[in-house]
């Protein structure tokens, strides 16, 4: 069975002291839910302290981005080796990075390979715009993003990859994709693309999250879908109470 994975993407929220205080309050509340993988993704400046505060709690840390080079003259960037020992996961290709930081399918692919080379597990975000959705282009576009992100990634590495399907029109808008629609893109388009690339056995083992206006109140609905293995959550991961409920609902829906 695929272990459910709930990741909180804190984006550009929370100072360092706020981040540390948050996880110290969160960790004991999530202790009972070891059947769900729980991940917090703070800003870079908080990664080390949050990682320290979460030692021994079973809760993992993720970064929100990386550069693909090992080091160099790339002002403002963070190399994968700098995150080793601090994070287990790294979000790659978030739609906000694609929109505001010129992230492309090509840079996503370089980052995925760089992360894997350093033992970091990519959470690869894909998803279509409203315009593409309305034009009926979702399947072609999302399938293409998955292929491009995984170009040159061998089958052995797929155990270390999580994919997050986040329709851009559902992020931070309160306009979520229905759970049936999300499940059909995840189970149909994305998992089907993985079958073509890696065969059925590996495709069935890869975890695929949904993201976009996930809240405690709709979490159960999403997680009750057979192909949705977790969620990448922005806004609703910023409060301890909500984060706790997200994990509780996921555990309940998956029976873990």
Burial string for 161-172 (b: 16+ CB within 10 Å, else e) reads bbbbbbbbbbbe
Cα dihedral 188/223/3/28 (nearest 10)? 150
Q: Determine whether 94 is an active site residue.
A: yes
Residue 152 Cβ, how far from ligand PGA at the closest point, in Å?
A: 26
Helix, strand or coil, per DSSP, at residue 7? strand
Residue with Cβ nearer ligand PGA (203 or 212): 212
Rg of the chain (C-alpha set): 17
* 112 vs 105: CA distance, rounded Å: 10
Of 251, 252, 248, 255, the closest CA to residue 26 belongs to 248
233 is a site residue for ligand PGA (CB under 6 A):
yes
Site for ligand PGA in 235-254 (CB under 6 A): 235-236
92 is a site residue for ligand PGA (CB under 6 A):
no
182 is a site residue for ligand PGA (CB under 6 A):
no
Of 93, 143, 211, 216, the one binding ligand PGA by CB under 6 A = 211
234 is a site residue for ligand PGA (CB under 6 A):
yes
Q: Determine whether 67 is an active site residue.
A: no
230 is a site residue for ligand PGA (CB under 6 A):
no
Residue with Cβ nearer ligand PGA (203 or 228): 228
Half-sphere exposure (CA, 13 Å, Cβ side) for 194? 23
Of 51, 145, 189, 213, the one binding ligand PGA by CB under 6 A = 213
* 135 vs 138: CA distance, rounded Å: 8
Residues that bind ligand PGA (CB under 6 A): 9, 166, 171-172, 211-214, 232-236
> Where in the sequence numbering do the catalytic residues fall?
94, 166
């Amino acid at each position: 069975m695929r272990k459910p994975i709930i990741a909180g993407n804190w984006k550009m929220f929370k100072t360092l002291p706020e981040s540390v205080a948050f996880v110290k309050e969160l960790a004991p509340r999530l202790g009972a839910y070891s059947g769900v993988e729980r991940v917090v993704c703070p800003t870079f400046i908080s990664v080390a302290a949050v990682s320290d505060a979460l030692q021994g709690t079973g809760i993992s840390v993720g970064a929100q981005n990386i550069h693909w080079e090992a080091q160099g003259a790339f002002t403002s960037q963070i190399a994968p080796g700098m995150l080793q020992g601090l994070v287990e996961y790294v979000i790659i290709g978030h739609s906000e990075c694609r929109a505001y930081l010129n992230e492309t399918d090509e840079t996503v692919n370089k980052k995925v390979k760089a992360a894997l080379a350093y033992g970091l597990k990519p959470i690869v975000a894909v998803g279509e715009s409203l315009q593409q959705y309305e034009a009926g282009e979702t399947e072609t576009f999302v399938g293409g993003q998955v292929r491009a992100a995984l170009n040159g990634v061998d089958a052995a590495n797929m155990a270390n990859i999580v994919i997050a399907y986040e329709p851009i029109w559902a992020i931070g808008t309160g306009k979520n994709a229905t759970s049936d629609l999300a499940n059909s893109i995840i189970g149909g388009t994305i998992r089907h693309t993985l079958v073509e690339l890696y065969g059925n056995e590996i495709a069935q083992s890869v975890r695929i999250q949904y993201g976009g206006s996930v809240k405690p109140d709709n979490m159960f609905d999403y997680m009750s879908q057979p192909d949705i293995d977790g969620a990448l959550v922005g806004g609703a991961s910023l409060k301890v109470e909500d984060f706790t409920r997200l994990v509780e609902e996921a555990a309940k829906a998956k029976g873990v």
